[in-house]
Amino acid sequence: MIIEGVDARGLLHCETTALGVLLRQQGLELSEPMMFGLGAGLGFVYWDAKGMDLPFLGGRVRPFELTRNLAGRLGLDLEVRETTSRRKAWQNVTDHIDAGRAVGLQLDSHHLDYFTSKEHFGGHIVAMYGYDDDAARLVDTGQQGGAVTTGLAALAAARAERGPMTARNRSFTLTVPERVPAPRDVVVPAIKACAAGFLDPPIANLGHRGIEKTARQIGRWWGRSADPARDLPRAALLMEHAGTGGALFRNLYRDFLGECAELRDDAALRTGHEMYGRAAAMWTGVAGLIAKAGESGDPAPLDQAATLLHDLSRLEHDAMRALATIETPSAPGP
C-alpha cells in the first residue's frame, strides 16, 4: 500500500521534516522555521555518560517535545501509540496507511538501510507513507535523501531499539482541525516559552548554562579521547551536518524570528533575529575549531573553541532575555 500524492520533501531537521509531511497531507503548509519555532524547538544540552567517547552536544529540545508543543500551540489532535510488541507496532502503522494517512515514527537511525551515519541515535523521527512485502517508504531529511526506502526487518529493529532517547515503537498522527490559529496570534507565547526554558534550566547541563559548561569542559576532550584524529572531526561533523550542537538549529530559529518580525513590529524580535544570526555563525566556528584540533594533531584550537563558547553563552542568554520582553498580544477577536 502506497499513499499517492504525498509531498515527500526532505527538510533540514528530521522532526520538522516528518511534521511537514503529516501537516501538508491535510492542507496545512508551514515553513520549517515556523514549525520549529512554534514548537519551541530551540535548546541546548551537554550530555555526558559512561562509555561515551566524547560528550553529546544537543542544540534543541528533547526528541518529540517539539511535536507535542506544536500540537498544543495549534490545537492539533496528536494521537500517539506505543507498544513493546513488534506485531502490534506494525499494525499501529499499517492501520493508518491502509486508510490513506501518513504516520510519524520515532526510531534509532542506526538500523535504517539508507542512513549514511551508523551511529546509534534513538531520537530520530521519520514519516512513513507506504509499504510492500519487502520495504517501507519513508520521508527523511534532505541530507538523507528525502523520499527513501528501508527493509521491513531494518525498520522493525530501528523502532524496537532500546537505549538513550528511544521510545517503545512510537508512532503518531496529527489531525488538523477546521480552524487553526494564525501564526501571528501564537508566535509570541511560543517565543516566551522557549526563552523561559533556556534562561532558567533546571540543571547546569541545559540552556545557556549548558553552553557555559561546554566551554569549561571542551579543553579536556583531547585528553579524554583515545583517538582525537578520529573523534574530534566526527564530533564536528555531527554538530554541523547531523543537527546536534552546531549552527543548524540556530539558523532555523533565526529564520523563525525573521518570519515573526514580518508578522509583528517589535524591536525585541528584530534584536533576537540579529543576535541568533551571529550565534549561528559562531557555532560554525566552534565546529571548525574542533575539527581543526583533530586534523592538525594540536589541541590548541579547543581552547579557542572554549573562548567562542563562553561568548555564545552570553550572546544567547542576552538574546533570550530580549525575546522574553516581547509584549504578549491581546486575544484575537471573535
Grid cell 541515535 — which residue? Answer: 121
pLDDT at 330: 63
Cα(143)–Cα(12) distance, integer angstroms: 7
Cα(12)–Cα(16) distance, integer angstroms: 8
Length of the chain: 334
pLDDT at 334: 45
**Following DSSP, what letter does each residue of 234-263 receive, concatenated?**
HHHHHHHHSSSSSSHHHHHHHHHHHHHHHH
pLDDT at 243: 63
Which residues of the chain fall short of a pLDDT of 70? 242-244, 329-334
Residue 172 DSSP symbol:
E
pLDDT at 329: 67
299 phi/psi in degrees, rounded to 5:
-75, -10
pLDDT at 207: 95
> Strand (E) positions, 142-204?
147-151, 171-175
Q: What is the pLDDT of residues 214-223, one digit of tens each?
A: 999 999 999 9
Q: Which domains does the chain have, with CATH numbers?
A: 14-30+77-175 (3.90.70.30), 183-323 (no CATH)
Question: Which residues make Cβ contacts (< 8 Å) with residue 48, sequence separation at least 6?
Answer: 55, 56, 217
Calculate the alpha carbon distances from 78 to 11, 75, 104 in Å.
21, 9, 11
